[in-house]
């Protein structure tokens, strides 16, 4: 699909210039989607047309990811959860249904645990959540690296190769360029601060999970080379009343199987709306 249907805007939130897209739909519930890494909010270009029939869609490049400004103090799940609360308030989104794949998952869980009235439901998954850590491949290497300096020289070719499975340069050059340019000039190195905080942050999250009250639909991808299904199982065991769906995908489920991913969101939102009687 054309990305033209995702109207880009920016807003100052917490002193940072934040990029987001808003479908502007007047009817139905609000669904807020947070950008995965190392992509941007354009990761939702394929689920967007499915979901616009469900409600108003807002997608955001989290601070330091995609094309939103970042700052070291916000690049950790606890701080990112607080940012999401400010973003929701600033844009007047009420109590949205929060869809947070990948790096957004832990931030969304902190928000729901510490501010139970901030959201109506969560759809989360594909991000490191278990403690002790259960991450593999490049993600494990990034967290284990001695510091972020080793990632400062990340070139376009390396960045491009990492997003090629999500947006092939030959087929979607504009999306590929949006992803790659979002992490050029040292931004990738800075963005690694987020996942490198997991060893300190995830034990704190673990203790908060049993207190989460909103409906939570967890997804995991059967063939994810970075975040094993065990992360989804870990969350499902600790969040009361949550459910887990294992998807037939690798890491980029939202782009690989957009119809199934959108259906999972729609089902979750409809169920949560019915439960709250809104």
Q: Are 18 and 87 in contact (CB under 8 A)?
A: yes
pLDDT confidence of 98, banded at 50, 70, 90?
Answer: very high
Average pLDDT over residues 253-270: 98
Evaluate if residue 84 carries a pLDDT over 90: yes
Evaluate if residue 4 carries a pLDDT over 70: no
pLDDT confidence of 120, banded at 50, 70, 90?
Answer: very high
Q: What percent of the chain has pLDDT over 90?
A: 93
Sign of CA pseudo-dihedral 257, 258, 259, 263 = positive
- The confidence score (pLDDT) of residue 3 equals 63
d(CA 108, CA 218): 12
d(CA 161, CA 141): 17
d(CA 247, CA 220): 6
Three-state DSSP class for residue 208: helix
Average pLDDT over residues 114-143: 98
Q: Are 246 and 217 in contact (CB under 8 A)?
A: no
* Average pLDDT of every residue of the chain: 96
pLDDT in tens, 149-179: 999 988 899 999 999 999 999 999 999 999 9
d(CA 268, CA 216): 8
CA dihedral 203, 198, 209, 47 (to 10 degrees): -170
Three-state DSSP class for residue 132: coil
Q: How far is CA 129 from CA 100, 107, 137, 218, in A?
A: 13, 10, 16, 11
Evaluate if residue 35 carries a pLDDT over 70: yes
- The confidence score (pLDDT) of residue 25 equals 80
- For the chain, the straight-line distance linking the first and the last C-alpha, in angstroms and rounded, comes to 32
- The confidence score (pLDDT) of residue 1 equals 47
Q: What percent of the chain has pLDDT over 70?
A: 98
pLDDT in tens, 174-206: 999 999 999 999 999 999 999 999 999 999 999
Instruction: State residue 233 phi and psi, 5-degree precision.
Output: -65, -40
Cβ count near 51 (within 10 Å): 25
pLDDT confidence of 275, banded at 50, 70, 90?
Answer: confident
Q: What is the pTM of this model?
A: 0.97
For residue 3, the 8-state DSSP code is: G
pLDDT confidence of 2, banded at 50, 70, 90?
Answer: low
Q: How far is CA 274 from CA 120, 161, 229, 267, 271, in A?
A: 11, 43, 29, 11, 5
Nearest CA-CA partner of 267 in 97, 104, 26:
97
Nearest CA-CA partner of 241 in 210, 203, 265:
210
């Amino acid at each position: 699909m054309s990305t033209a249907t995702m109207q880009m805007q920016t807003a100052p939130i917490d002193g940072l210039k934040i990029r987001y897209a808003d479908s502007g739909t007047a009817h139905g519930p609000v669904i807020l989607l947070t950008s995965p890494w190392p992509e941007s909010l354009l990761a939702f270009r394929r689920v967007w047309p499915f979901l616009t029939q469900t409600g108003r869609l807002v997608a955001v490049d989290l601070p330091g990811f995609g094309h939103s400004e970042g700052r070291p103090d916000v690049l950790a799940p606890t701080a990112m959860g607080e940012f999401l609360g400010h973003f929701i308030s600033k844009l007047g989104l009420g109590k949205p249904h929060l869809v947070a794949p990948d790096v957004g998952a832990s931030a969304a869980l902190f928000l729901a645990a510490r501010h139970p009235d901030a959201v109506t439901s969560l759809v989360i998954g594909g991000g490191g959540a278990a403690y002790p850590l259960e991450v593999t491949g490049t993600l494990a290497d990034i967290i284990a690296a001695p510091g972020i300096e080793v990632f400062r020289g990340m070139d376009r070719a390396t960045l491009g190769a990492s997003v090629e499975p999500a947006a092939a340069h030959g087929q979607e050059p504009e999306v590929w360029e949006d992803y790659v340019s979002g992490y050029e000039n040292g931004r990738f190195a800075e963005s690694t601060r987020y996942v490198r905080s997991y060893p300190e942050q995830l034990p704190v999250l673990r203790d908060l999970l049993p207190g989460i009250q909103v409906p939570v639909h967890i997804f995991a991808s059967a063939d994810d080379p970075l975040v094993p299904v065990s992360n989804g199982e870990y969350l499902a065991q600790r969040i009361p009343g949550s459910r887990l769906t294992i998807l037939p995908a690798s890491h980029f489920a939202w782009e690989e199987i957009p119809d199934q991913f959108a259906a999972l969101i729609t089902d979750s939102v409809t169920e949560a709306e019915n439960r709250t009687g809104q």
